[in-house]
Amino acid sequence: MAQRVAVADGGNKKTTRVRVAVRLRPYMSKHDEKSEGPCVRGLDSQSLEIINWRNATESVKYQFDSFHGEETTQQEVFLTSVKPILSHVLNGQNASVFAYGPTGAGKTHTMLGSPEQPGVIPQAVREVFHLVKGKKEDEGWDYSIGMSYLEIYNEKVLDLLSPGSQDLPIREDKDKNILIPGLTHTTISSFSDFDKHFIPASLNRTTASTKLNQRSSRSHAILLIKVVRTRRTFPHRQQTGKLYLVDLAGSEDNRRTGNQGIRLKESGAINLSLFTLSKVVDSLNSGTAIRVPYRDSKLTRLLQDSLGGSAHSVMITNIAPEYKYYFDTFTALNFAAKSKLIVNKPFTRETVAVPMLPVKRARDELEGRGPDA
């Protein structure tokens, strides 16, 4: 097989921000033992207000790229916040969608949904297949789509497509692509093919989480959809775009909620990956070129090219309106307000086949440097 080298991306250096959406789920009286009513309400398609706990006659207002009120449908969330970034994945760029927020606020509903109300994941995968189908033969690319599905639990990376697998290592290749050797990667040919692999894996996760109680609220579920396109003619340019769809662990402070009286040690109480995610956001926003601590947790390491890197990212912060969630809602909104400032620089990941030339010379030539440069 011919060797492949990465091609410098001369074009697209446009920067994009992380898009931040907030979704408020409907008020549910079963979550409000004291019948206090809601403490958060939407104002318009971009802003909301939450009662100020210091002075209940005042409120604190927030503005985001989009605000999805309690009546928003699954389809509206998808169309406004997710669909616009998907086409980039067919062009060798990375994209990621995160659901963030406290347990019970609607992350899984937003990402997974139900058969009647499919969430972001099924809608996004359908759309990727739809976009590939819409590509014209004469554009000269062959597309292949594959999936991986993993969970980060207690800083262990577990393969959900291969139950019982061990903790997997995260690596970076010479072109700064993050990868997990040993992770199952399955080629999928259609949406129903995707479902065939995804549904049993999701069910595995759910069953395990009911047994282990808080597991699903303590772990991050990460679906990766990889689109590789290859030029039919020599030098067979190849571009790889990755789409991460992430249902994050609950953002509530386990020290404060005190989980059924179990005393949790400080160090064990915090989900390290989620904690590091907020440090990464802080450090990117401070702009002071200090080291961004991606390597401090598995989640941020894995998503290194999706936050402040080269990806199109969307953060959907899920919040609940009942008072019981008040402080967790505040924390989540403040985190979301910080995330807005991150700037990503999307670029295309491309390689070409080089049959005979020594690598350095080939790379120089591809990048337009003469053989003597």
Q: State the residues that interact with Mg ion by CB under 5 A.
A: 107-108
Name the minimum Å distance from CB 40 to ligand ADP: 13
Task: Give 92 or 104: the residue with its C-beta nearer to ligand ADP.
Answer: 104
241 binds ligand ADP (CB under 6 A): no
CA angle 85, 86, 90 (to 5 degrees): 125
Q: Does residue 312 belong to the site contacting ligand ADP (CB under 6 A)?
A: no
Stretch that binds ligand ADP, among 82-90, 104-112, 189-197, 265-273 (CB under 6 A): 104-112
Residue 101 CB, nearest approach to ligand ADP (Å): 6
| Closer residue to ligand ADP (CB): 102 or 309 | 102
CA–CA separation, 302 vs 306, rounded Å?
Answer: 9
Shortest Cβ distance from residue 248 to ligand ADP (Å)? 9
Q: CA 57, CA 340: separation in Å to the nearest integer?
A: 28
Stretch that binds ligand ADP, among 12-20, 105-113, 221-229, 296-304 (CB under 6 A): 105-113
Q: Which residue is nearest to ligand ADP (CB)?
A: 106
- At 195, the amino acid letter reads D
> Cα 90 to the chain's mean position, in Å?
17
* Residue 292 touching ligand ADP (CB under 6 A): no
| CB-nearer residue toward ligand ADP: 283 or 329 | 329
In residues, how long is the chain? Answer: 373
Binding track over 21-40 against ligand ADP, x by CB under 6 A: ----xx--------------
Torsion of CA 343, 310, 98, 142, to 10 degrees: 150
- CB closer to Mg ion, 107 vs 312: 107
The tokens describing 297, both together, are 């947790």
Residues 6+ apart with CB under 8 A from 346: 12, 14, 15, 16, 88, 93, 94, 310, 311, 312
Nearest distance in Å: CB 315, Mg ion: 16
Under rule CB under 6 A, residue 108 binds ligand ADP: yes
- Structural contact between residues 236 and 366, judged by C-beta atoms closer than 8 angstroms: no
CA dihedral 69, 71, 74, 77 (to 10 degrees): -30
CA-based nearest residue to 40, from 66, 62, 72, 73: 62
105 binds, among Mg ion, ligand ADP, none (CB under 5 to 8 A by kind): ligand ADP
Does residue 240 touch ligand ADP according to CB under 6 A?
Answer: no
Q: Check residue 113 and report its DSSP letter.
A: B
Site string for ligand ADP, 207-226 (x = CB under 6 A): ----------x---------
Residue 103 binds ligand ADP (CB under 6 A): yes
Residue whose C-beta lies closest to Mg ion: 108
Cis check: omega of the bond before 118, within 30 degrees of 0: no
Q: With contacts defined by CB under 6 A, name the span among 54-62, 99-107, 170-178, 229-237 that binds ligand ADP.
A: 99-107
Contact between 107 and ligand ADP by CB under 6 A: the answer reads yes
Closest CA to 277 of 99, 55, 91, 75: 99
Figure out which of the listed residues 19, 109, 229, 312 binds ligand ADP, where binding follows CB under 6 A: 109
Half-sphere exposure of residue 140: CA atoms within 13 angstroms, side-chain side: 8
Contacts with ligand ADP by CB under 6 A lie at: 25-26, 101, 103-109, 217, 318
